[in-house]
Structure 1
Amino acid sequence: TLCTALALIVVITALLAEVAVSFEEQRPVWPPFFRPRPPGGVGEPCTIGSDCMSGTCCVRSSSNHSQTCQKLGLYGQECSDSPIKGQVYDDHCPCTSDLRFAPLLHETPISSKL
């Protein structure tokens, strides 16, 4: 019985680890009859981050509150450091992966090389 309990614990732990990995990023679940549109390019409307093509992100404009796909931040451009809900960023996309933040005096992050 002790061996059976130990084996059951190992199996349950493995299953829980597998389930936890699959929940790292939220993705919409569509009904079987619904065909989502392909990811949008720069300037196209978006609701969540997965609505945008690779190399872009979904940005909510603080001036008019519209949400559009925009390019990731490049060297010398302003970048957002964290998304709001649904992988949507305020005003700017995050930096591309080879860049990091360099804070300015007025606290707007600007990308710089690593």
Structure 2
Amino acid sequence: MKIGDKLNGQIVGIKPYGAFVELEKDKIGLIHISEVKAGYIDNIYKNLSVGQKVTVQIIDLDEYSQKISLSLRSLEEEGYISQPKHRFSNSRYKIGFKPLAKALPNWIDESLAFLKKDTPTN
């Protein structure tokens, strides 16, 4: 067995954090809840059941502890599309720091005037 191998197995236990899969050669691996499918899963019991046959991919092998990390998500089709990030500004305009550089002298004058106003005089 090595990272990247695809194996058939059967789910032998489910916990809120993941599912235990019995693989060939009497080895047991864990599918962490984040590796069940793309997107958010609030209840793993709705997606998997004990006795279910699954095809999994090895994503990590810890030789020291003999732990096998498995994934169903890595075998999914590229059907999941993440929501695009909303940007504060429009990235199509290449304006850089020009507006900030233009406003900076005014901000400095306002700040100095504010500081002079609040400074006690002797």
TM-score bracket, normalised by the shorter chain, equals under 0.3
Larger Rg over CA atoms: 2
When you count strand as a share of all residues, which structure comes out higher?
2
More helix by share: 2
